[in-house]
Amino acid sequence: MIDWQTVAATALTSTTAIAVVGFILKSLFAQLMARDIERYKADLTKSHEIELQGFKAALEKTAFEHQTRFASLHARRAEVIAELYSALADAEEAAVSMVRPLQMAGEAPQEEKRKPAYERAQALQPHINKNRIYFSESLCKLLDEYLKTLHSALIDFDAHLMMDKGELAAWMKSWERLTEAVPPIKAQIESDFRRLLGAEAG
C-alpha cells in the first residue's frame, strides 16, 4: 500500500529543495551579474578617461603647433613688412629729392639724382612681387598703385629733363604726383601694415 502522506512529504521536500536551490542560484547569478556590471562600468570609465586624456593631449598638441606656425608666420611677415616699407620710403625719398622744386645749395644736381631714384623705384617691383603671399589682394593693389604713381612721377620729370629743364608743366605734374597722389596711398599702406602687425585695431 502506498503511503501517500510520505509521498506528499517527499514531494514537498523536493519542491522546497528545488525552490531553495533555484533561489540560491538566482541570487548567486544576480550577484555575479552585478559584480560583472560594476567591473564593466569601471573598465568603461577607465577607458573613457584614457581616451579623454588622449584627446586632450592631441588637442593641446594641435593648438601648440597652430600657435607655433602662427607665431612663425607673424614673425616672417613682420620682417617682410619692415624690409618692404624701408624700400618704399627709400624710393619715395630719392624721387622727392630729385623732383623737389627747391634744391638746396650743396646738393647733387638733379641729373645725378635721376639714377638712384630710378634704381630704388625699380627695385620695389620684385620686392613686392615675391612677397605678395603675405598680403591681402587689396593691399597688393595698393602697393601696385603706389609703385605705378611713383614711376609716373619719375617719367613726368624725365620729360622736363629731356627738354633741357624747359618743360615746367611736366615738372609740376611730377611734383603733384609725389605730394598729392602718393601720400594717401602710402597712408593706407601704413595703416594696413600696422593692422597686420597688431599695432592697430582691425
pLDDT, tens only, 171-184 = 889 999 999 999 99
The pLDDT of 183-188, averaged and rounded, is 95
- Give me the pLDDT at residue 68, please: 62
Encode 90-127: b = buried (16+ Cβ within 10 Å), e = exposed. bbbebbbbbbeeeeeeeeeebeebbebbbebbeebeeb
Confidence of residue 69 (pLDDT cuts 50, 70, 90): low
Q: Which amino acid is at 153?
A: A
Q: Is 161 exposed, middle or buried (0-12, 13-18, 19+ CB in 10 A)?
A: middle
Percent of the chain with pLDDT strictly greater than 70: 64
Contact of 94 with 118, CB cutoff 8 Å: no
Threshold 0.75, pTM exceeds: no
Confidence of residue 7 (pLDDT cuts 50, 70, 90): very low
Reported residue count of the chain is 202
Report in angstroms the alpha-carbon separations of 35 from 29, 45, 97.
Answer: 10, 15, 91
- Give me the pLDDT at residue 43, please: 66
The H-assigned helical ranges of the chain are 4-99, 110-129, 137-162, 168-176, 182-197
The pLDDT of 41-60, averaged and rounded, is 66
In this structure, is the dihedral angle defined by the CA atoms of residues 168, 107, 95 and 195, taken in order, positive or negative?
A: negative
Which domains occur in the chain, in start order?
Answer: 76-197 (1.20.1440)
Task: Pick the range with the lowest mean pLDDT from 16-30, 53-67, 128-142, 179-193.
Answer: 53-67
Complete DSSP assignment for 12-40: HHHHHHHHHHHHHHHHHHHHHHHHHHHHH
